[in-house]
Amino acid sequence: MPATREEVYRAITKPSSWWDQKVEGEAGVKGGEFHAKEGDFSVQEADDGKRVVWNVEPTDDNDHEWDDTSLIFDIEEEEGKTKVNFTHRGIRPHDRGYDEIAKTWKDRIAKGLQPLINREENS
């Protein structure tokens, strides 16, 4: 992406701006918590502009695929461009619902996060 690491970091830590659902709470401060349809999230890392880690807290719902998984965004800046590596740790290809989860993240990043970063860069 042609944005700076700081712009990308700011965009990632505002999931309410790029997820396709309502997100409430604080996603950009270590120790913060936020809530979305998939469940409750705690912010494990979010203080250096290089990495964001959100842990998905266990729920009482019947749908437990996301429980105790981590959403990890590693952010690198190189030659004026920024690269983001996303990992949903704890979700494996053989898990129930894997294909749907992978498609959801691909869509969120391509249709929500990437345009948000482009808007931040142009503002």
Amino acid at 78: E
Per-residue pLDDT, averaged over 88-103, amounts to: 88
Query: What is the predicted pLDDT for the residue at 41?
Result: 94
Query: What is the predicted pLDDT for the residue at 11?
Result: 92
Query: What is the predicted pLDDT for the residue at 70?
Result: 93
pLDDT digits (tens, 9 = 90+) for 36-93: 887 899 999 997 789 999 999 887 765 667 778 999 999 998 887 899 999 999 988 8
Q: Residue 15 pLDDT > 70, yes or no?
A: yes
Query: What is the predicted pLDDT for the residue at 84?
Result: 92
Give this prediction's pTM.
0.87
Query: What is the predicted pLDDT for the residue at 61?
Result: 64
Query: In angstroms, what CA-CA distances link 39 with 10, 77, 83?
Result: 22, 31, 27
Query: What is the predicted pLDDT for the residue at 123?
Result: 55
Higher-confidence residue of 123 and 70: namely 70
Class of domain 5-122: alpha beta
Give dist(CA 94, CA 12) in Å, integer.
28
Q: How far is CA 69 from the centre of its chain?
A: 12
Q: What's the N-to-C CA distance of the chain in angstroms?
A: 15
